[in-house]
Amino acid sequence: MNVEISDLTRRFGRTRAVDGVSLQAGAGVFGLLGPNGAGKTTLLRMMATVIPPSSGRLRLLGRDPGSYGPRKEIRRRVGYLPQNLGYYPGFTVAEFVEYFALLKDMPPRQVPRSVAAAVEQVGLGDKARARLRTLSGGMLRRAGIAQAIVNQPELPTWSSRASCSPSTPTRASRARRRGGGWRSAPRP
């Protein structure tokens, strides 16, 4: 199982953002559907090890993220695209993706090739040297997707609005479902 969640809860003060969620998911694509404020983004943030649960059991890729060592290993194998991605406007697309590759503790010798592949995968190869501040909203979302897939994650997680780019997540998802990793899929 890639994701094993049992009675997971996350509180912010008195508010229960996630209340007793249980689920199991193996390889493949699954979605979280629900109204605004239902806790979908909070659950994804816990799955990306950004925030810990208040209670319950969480296992990702066969590991418990409750301690530093397993959490670090999970982060190497997860691709996370948050709803609102922060970035340094002065970074180029390639620098931005490289920064996240290094944060994910990728072997330095793999980074240049992986960055170039991720940037190409999302259709920004011709913009690799463009500063993020010069990109359109859609291109920024694609740069965010590139950072999420640069490590060829076993557990990619997108937040709802983050996947609004009409073709890129679909192409990336099709490539992943075919079992070929994050290689480019043909355009529809």
Domain ranges across the chain: 3-71, 81-177
Q: Fold match between 3-71 and 81-177?
A: yes
User: Residue 8, exposed/middle/buried by CB under 10 A (0-12, 13-18, 19+)?
Assistant: buried
- 81-177 homologous superfamily: P-loop containing nucleotide triphosphate hydrolases (3.40.50.300)
Q: Would you state the pLDDT for residue 46? A: 94
Please, what is the Cα angle at 77 between 61 and 94, to 5 degrees?
A: 160
Q: Tens digit of pLDDT for each residue in 40-90?
A: 999 999 999 999 999 999 999 999 999 999 999 998 898 988 888 888 999
Q: Rounded to whole angstroms, how far apart are CA atoms 131 and 138?
A: 14
pLDDT band at 161 (very low <50, low <70, confident <90, very high): low
Residue 162, SS3?
helix
Q: Tens digit of pLDDT for each residue in 13-30?
A: 999 999 999 999 988 777
Q: Rounded to whole angstroms, how far apart are CA atoms 176 and 171?
A: 9
pLDDT band at 162 (very low <50, low <70, confident <90, very high): very low
Q: Rounded to whole angstroms, how far apart are CA atoms 14 and 178?
A: 44
Q: Rounded to whole angstroms, how far apart are CA atoms 38 and 15?
A: 12
Residue 27, SS3?
coil
Q: Would you state the pLDDT for residue 158? A: 82
Q: Would you state the pLDDT for residue 18? A: 96
Indicate whether 165 pLDDT > 50.
no
Question: In terms of pLDDT, which residue wins out, 172 or 79?
Answer: 79
Identify which of 168, 100, 94 has the alpha carbon closest to the alpha carbon of residue 131: 94
Report CA 134 to chain centroid distance, whole Å: 23
* CATH number for domain 3-71, candidates 3.40.190.10, 3.40.50.620, 3.30.70.260, 3.40.50.300: 3.40.50.300
Indicate whether 182 pLDDT > 70.
no
Q: Would you state the pLDDT for residue 185? A: 35
Q: Tens digit of pLDDT for each residue in 106-150?
A: 999 999 999 999 999 999 999 999 999 999 999 999 999 999 999
